[in-house]
Structure formats: C-alpha cells, structure tokens
Amino acid sequence: MTELNFVAALLIGLTGAGHCISMCGGIAAAVTIGMPNKPQHHWIYLLYYNLGRISSYMIAGLIVSQVVVEVTALSGLTNILISLRILASIMMIILGLYIGKWWSGLTHIERIGHVIWRFILPLTKHFLPLTSPLKAIPFGFLWGWLPCGLVYSTLTWAAVSGSAIDGMIIMLAFGLGTLPAMLALGSIADKFKSLLNNSYFKRINGLFIIIYGIHTGYIAINQIW
C-alpha cells in the first residue's frame, strides 16, 4: 500500500470529521455523563471510546478486504477485483461530492446499514453508565458500526486494497483522521468545527478526493483494456 493511500484515507477522516461530530458527537459527549471520576479525567474515557470505535473500523476493513482477496483467488476472475475497484472509485467521487457540499447523495447509502444497526444498538445499553474507562472500549466498538456513509465509502476502498492488512491500515488511517475532532472539547472543539465547516476547506479536500477517485477508476479501466 502506498503512502498516498494512507494520507488520502487520513484526509478523508479529517475532512469528514464534521459529519462524524454531527452523528457521534452527542454520543461522545454522553460518554462523560455520570462518571465517577473528576471532569479533568473525562478525556481518558473519550480516548478509550474512540479507540474502540477505530478498532471496529479496522476489523471491518480486515474482514471485507480478506473476503475480496479470497473470492478473487477462488474464482480466478481478476475482473471481479477490477469491477470492485471501479465501484470504489465511484464511491470516492460520491464522497468527494459530499465533503465538498456539491451533492448529499452519500446520506442515502447510510440507510443500508440501519438494518444491522437496529440489532447492535440495544447492546450498547449494557455498558452504561461507564463506571470505568475500560467499559468505554466495547461501548465505542459497538458505536463504530453506526451507519455512516463516510465509513462505507472508505470501506469499499479498503476492500480492493489487495490484502487484509492494507485494508485494515486504510481504515486505521481514516479513524485517526477523525480522532482530533472527536477528542476535542470546549473552545478547541469550536475551533475544529469552524475549520471543518469552512466552505473553502471542504471544497479543496472534496476536489482532492474526487480527483483521486477518478485516478483510481482510470487505472482500473485501463486494466480491462
């Protein structure tokens, strides 16, 4: 896996963190409610929660990429992998359009995950209240499966990375990109939100992702010819 893949995945997580805050920010804030520790220790709970969340992304990346590798190897059809790479490039373009605020079609893709999420959501209640930081890890792991178009887009990219390890690392990079905004509190969080919501910041990064998606699709199509 090239360094560019890692940087691009990191950038997707960073620029898409505004979406993460809107979806998971309330949950992250709820993590600190009713804790026995002093307020200055709340960041530990948030860190553990996000470690669990990012772990779920990594496992998802590991699974889907390994499945693609196995299916491609068993079938002997390289066209399957090429077709999936074209799909991944389309998803990246859709993601770039969403981040750049040109088209919000990505939100429709999130509906796919609601079928599974309704079975996972009740499990999160078993860990509340969070009486210790360690309980925040499985709590965050479960919330990592919350339907999210950003995660799904990056996951299709991880699926065609070529190996389970590369797929896992791509999702790790994405998760790390979301981490600063998800850990930020108070005035720092407000500054992050201000940056992430800046229209120029969104459009520049959205354009970068679109170009990278087109480049990925171009390479995949050339493999067919």
pLDDT at 12 over 70: yes
| Spatial contact of 55 and 144, defined as CB atoms under 8 Å apart | yes
DSSP structure class, residue 146? S
Give tens-digit pLDDT for 200-222.
888 888 898 899 899 889 988 88
Separation between Cα atoms, residue 106 and residue 88, nearest integer Å: 13
Q: What Rg, from alpha-carbon coordinates, does the chain have?
A: 18
| The predicted structure's pLDDT at residue 188 | 61
Q: How many CA atoms lie within 13 A of 64 on its CB side?
A: 24
CB atoms under 10 Å from CB of 177, counted, come to 24
| The predicted structure's pLDDT at residue 114 | 85
| The predicted structure's pLDDT at residue 29 | 62
Helices 186-196 and 199-224 cross at an angle (nearest 10°) of: 60
Average the pLDDT over each of 27-31, 143-147, 156-160, 174-178 and give the range with the smallest value. 27-31
Confidence of residue 38 (pLDDT cuts 50, 70, 90): low
Give tens-digit pLDDT for 18-37.
666 666 656 666 666 655 55
Give tens-digit pLDDT for 128-154.
878 888 888 999 999 999 888 889 999
CB proximity list for 221: less than 8 A, separation 6 or greater: 86
Dihedral (CA of 124, 127, 131, 135) sign: negative
Q: Is the peptide bond before 129 cis (omega within 30 degrees of 0)?
A: yes
pLDDT at 170 over 90: yes
* Residue whose C-alpha is closest to residue 69's, from 155, 166, 170, 162: 162
Average pLDDT over all residues of the chain: 83
* Residue whose C-alpha is closest to residue 98's, from 90, 25, 183, 53: 90
Separation between Cα atoms, residue 149 and residue 2, nearest integer Å: 24
Separation between Cα atoms, residue 32 and residue 96, nearest integer Å: 33
Dihedral (CA of 209, 210, 214, 220) sign: positive
| Runs of H (alpha helix) within 184-225 | 186-196, 199-224
